[in-house]
């Protein structure tokens, strides 16, 4: 099992560009989520999904879109990148919403 | 949302020393996990412990759900224990993780 796989590991974007951060899990988990981590802070929830076809907003959803067409994949889209979106992004999955969560290795995004 | 407070914020230990990290939370929880973020940024699962006590080698954790706190014990610390330790919870009424701001641990040889 690969667990939770995120790509890319590093990315530099120019302001206004769009991109998609990929997240895939092979544990057949129903619950998937995206977090961002900023210096000196814990992780904050961006969006989450409790199953294929179901998504909802977290604490900091503005500027991001998600979709969940399959159980395995949960991509995060930045619509028009801004310097405030410079952060480290983590994807996580869990068998259910209160089950043990597993995190990907993170994507370090810089917006210039 | 639920408030999660971790203490101490920073900790410096000599190799071989023991330590206790604390996590207080403001509401009843369905899930509590401890993570170690290593110097490369990876989040490593340590314990899934909404209640009770668990041990894994030199690490152990206890969650007293009725009193809304959890403790992480590190014994005989090693330099590889350095990093940030996060506590994260899912409340009984919610469906997202709330993270504390972490305890930054430095173990010096």
Q: How far apart are CA B100 and CA B23, in angstroms?
A: 8
Q: What's the confidence (pLDDT) of residue A1?
A: 65
A101/B97 CB distance under 8 A = yes
How far is Cα A98 from Cα B108, in angstroms, rounded to an integer? 36
pLDDT in tens, A12-66: 999 999 999 999 999 999 999 999 999 877 799 999 999 999 999 998 999 999 9
For residue A103, which residues of chain B lie inside 8 Å, CB to CB? Answer: 35, 42-43, 45
Contact of B5 with B24, CB cutoff 8 Å = yes
- For the stretch B67-80, pLDDT in tens is 999 999 999 999 99
Question: Quick check: A5 pLDDT over 90?
Answer: yes
Among B33, B41, B102, whose Cβ lies nearest the Cβ of A88?
B41
- Cβ-Cβ contacts under 8 Å between A and B: the total is 56
């Amino acid at each position: 099992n690969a667990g939770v796989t995120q790509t890319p590991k590093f990315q530099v974007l120019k302001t206004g560009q769009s991109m998609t951060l990929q997240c895939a899990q092979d544990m057949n988990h129903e619950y998937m989520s995206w977090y961002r981590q900023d210096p000196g802070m814990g992780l904050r929830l961006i969006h989450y999904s409790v199953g294929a076809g179901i998504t909802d907003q977290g604490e900091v959803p503005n500027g991001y879109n998600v979709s969940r067409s399959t159980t395995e994949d949960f991509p995060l889209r930045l619509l028009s990148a801004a310097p405030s979106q410079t952060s480290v992004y983590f994807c996580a999955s869990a068998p259910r919403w209160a089950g043990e969560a597993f995190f990907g290795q993170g994507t370090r995004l810089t917006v210039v | 949302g639920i408030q999660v407070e971790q203490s101490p914020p920073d900790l410096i230990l000599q190799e071989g020393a023991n330590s206790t990290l604390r996590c207080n939370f403001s509401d009843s929880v369905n899930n509590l996990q401890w993570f170690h973020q290593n110097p490369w940024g990876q989040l490593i699962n340590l314990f899934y412990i909404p209640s009770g006590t668990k041990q894994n080698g030199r690490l152990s954790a206890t969650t007293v759900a009725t009193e809304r706190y959890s403790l992480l014990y590190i014994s005989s610390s090693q330099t590889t224990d350095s990093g940030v330790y996060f506590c994260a919870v899912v409340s009984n009424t919610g469906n997202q993780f709330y993270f504390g701001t972490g305890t930054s641990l430095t173990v010096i040889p």
